């Protein structure tokens, strides 16, 4: 195998963003934040908001879906014991959570299982059906309640773009993050869950709320901190929501589905990644930033530089490790079988750094666009997700960029936001 260093060098440059490009992302993002048409005027009217496939503007020009959640932020007084179903990444989790008010909670019980087990099953593959997937989830719920017959309310964090029908019901608009399970798109996921609970003879679990994971994160953040107005996930996928204080006269958390933001500067590697993806021409911000894709961007550039027909299998975790633990030579050899010289390894490390830095800068530019939209006030952004949570250097980029703009905006890490938020939503 031969390394074309020039290709790595030009990839490094292509992943670097200029100040002007970032400014434009911030501005474009702000301009795309518009409220859904026909906001609710009377009780019950929310049910009839015509979302036009989730697009907010009459002219259909915004790439942000702006989905109403039917929830405002919590008071902090929510209490009681609930089941939380957290579905949205490669693991599904069911937790029994006791809310103790004012940001305090206790996890009473927790079960988790991967959605893919090599050689055994794959519930996100196109051969799997929604029925099989929800039967698997019902089995986990059974494990979590552990024979308990008392009635318990369940909050469901479902981390995909969904049109909310009311707090308890949501229809999946389309899968993201390369999920392909059949017979779920266009369906009411609460109905699918209820049918699976029935098949599993579980009668005492009552699904009462279904929410996006960004909404769950914001609920968790605001349960402890009333200044939290923005919730974001920076993990396998990426997305942000915020509290709109005046949604036809009432506060409402809106899920931006910002991973679908389309005005993102893209280079040749982004175009190849998009071509290879399940949903071509969609999720441009997510494809440039999230854990599901940053490793693949590196793989595409490395395959080109090493003139390989086969795509390598670098993950976001590899990239983060290369930067923080000086392990680039190890990962290049492991994934490509090519042993780089120290100089070459340094170049690859720079590439990993630029891919991840671009990711964090783009995410921050959208936060700033939202900040510009909300206006000057003290606001904090609660962020959950493995890419953010496990990588202090990404946290520093985001906090540093926010601090350059104002001391009124800050970001903080939310632990277990998806699960705790589901319990809070069930309590609301």
Q: How far is the CB of 409 from ligand BGC (least distance, A)?
A: 21
Q: How far is the CB of 283 from ligand BGC (least distance, A)?
A: 7
Among 123, 160, 261, 314, interactor with ligand BGC by CB under 6 A: 160
Kindly give the interhelix angle for 268-276 and 291-305, rounded to the nearest 10 degrees: 110
CA distance 171 to 188: 4
CB neighbour list of residue 359: distance below 8 Å, 6 or more residues apart: 288, 289, 290, 294, 387, 394
- Label the pairing between strands 79-87 and 91-100: antiparallel
- The DSSP code for 3 is -
Q: How far is the CB of 44 from ligand BGC (least distance, A)?
A: 26
Among 62, 63, 69, 159, interactor with ligand BGC by CB under 6 A: 159
Q: How far is the CB of 56 from ligand BGC (least distance, A)?
A: 15
Taking only Cα atoms into account, the Rg of the chain, rounded to an integer number of angstroms, comes to 22
Query: Is residue 274 part of the contact set for ligand BGC (CB under 6 A)?
Result: no
Q: In whole angstroms, what separates CA 388 from the centre of its chain?
A: 11
Among 28, 86, 163, 213, interactor with ligand BGC by CB under 6 A: 213
Among 86, 257, 270, 274, interactor with ligand BGC by CB under 6 A: 257
CB neighbour list of residue 219: distance below 8 Å, 6 or more residues apart: 71, 73, 74, 211, 231, 253, 417, 420, 421, 424, 425
Query: Is residue 259 part of the contact set for ligand BGC (CB under 6 A)?
Result: yes
Query: Is residue 295 part of the contact set for ligand BGC (CB under 6 A)?
Result: no
Query: Is residue 161 part of the contact set for ligand BGC (CB under 6 A)?
Result: yes
Q: How far is the CB of 135 from ligand BGC (least distance, A)?
A: 23
Among 88, 207, 291, 295, interactor with ligand BGC by CB under 6 A: 88
CA distance 233 to 318: 20
CB-based burial label for 412 (10 Å; 0-12, 13-18, 19+): middle
Q: Among residues 235 and 427, whose Cβ is nearest to ligand BGC? A: 235
Query: Is residue 176 part of the contact set for ligand BGC (CB under 6 A)?
Result: yes
Stretch 104-143: interaction string toward ligand BGC, x if CB under 6 A: ----------------------------------------
Query: Is residue 163 part of the contact set for ligand BGC (CB under 6 A)?
Result: no
Of residues 136, 176, 154, 215, the one with CA closest to residue 418:
215
State the residues that interact with ligand BGC by CB under 6 A.
Answer: 88, 159-161, 176-177, 212-214, 233, 237-239, 257, 259, 286
């Amino acid at each position: 195998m031969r390394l074309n260093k020039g290709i790595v060098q030009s990839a490094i440059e292509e992943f670097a963003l200029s100040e002007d490009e970032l400014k434009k992302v911030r501005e474009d993002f702000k301009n795309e934040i518009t409220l859904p048409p026909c906001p609710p005027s009377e009780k019950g009217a929310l049910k009839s908001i015509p979302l036009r496939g989730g697009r907010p503007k009459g002219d259909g020009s915004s790439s942000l879906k702006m989905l109403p959640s039917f929830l405002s932020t919590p008071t902090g007084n929510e209490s009681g014991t609930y089941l939380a179903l957290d579905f949205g990444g490669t693991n599904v989790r069911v937790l029994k959570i006791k809310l103790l008010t004012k940001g305090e909670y206790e996890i009473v019980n927790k079960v988790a299982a991967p959605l893919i087990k090599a050689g055994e099953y794959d519930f996100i593959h196109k051969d799997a059906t929604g029925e099989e997937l929800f039967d698997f989830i019902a089995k986990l719920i059974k494990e979590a309640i552990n024979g308990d017959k008392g009635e318990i309310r369940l909050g469901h964090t479902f981390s995909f773009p969904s049109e909310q029908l009311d707090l308890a019901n949501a229809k999946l608009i389309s899968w993201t993050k390369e999920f392909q399970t059949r017979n779920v798109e266009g369906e009411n996921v609460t109905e699918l869950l209820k049918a699976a609970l029935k098949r599993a003879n579980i009668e005492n679990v009552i699904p009462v709320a279904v929410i996006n994971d960004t909404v769950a994160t914001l609920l968790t953040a605001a349960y402890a901190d009333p200044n939290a107005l923005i919730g974001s996930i920076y993990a396998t996928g990426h997305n942000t929501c915020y509290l709109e204080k005046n949604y036809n006269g009432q506060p409402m958390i809106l899920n931006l589905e910002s991973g679908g933001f389309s005005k993102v500067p893209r280079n040749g590697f982004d175009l190849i990644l998009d071509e290879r993806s399940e949903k071509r021409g969609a999720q441009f911000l997510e494809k440039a930033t999230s854990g599901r894709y940053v490793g693949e961007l590196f793989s595409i550039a490395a395959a080109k530089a090493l003139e390989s027909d086969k795509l390598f299998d670098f993950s976001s975790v590899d990239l983060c490790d290369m930067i923080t633990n000086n392990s680039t030579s190890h990962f290049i050899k492991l994934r490509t079988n090519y042993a780089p010289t120290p100089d070459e390894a340094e170049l690859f490390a720079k590439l990993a750094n630029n891919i991840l830095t671009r990711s964090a800068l783009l995410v921050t530019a959208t936060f700033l666009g939202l900040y510009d939209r909300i206006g000057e006030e003290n606001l904090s952004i609660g962020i959950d997700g493995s890419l953010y949570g496990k990588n202090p250097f990404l946290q520093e980029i985001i906090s540093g960029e926010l601090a350059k703009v104002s001391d009124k905006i800050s970001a903080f890490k939310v632990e277990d936001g998806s699960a705790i938020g589901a319990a809070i939503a069930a309590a609301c």
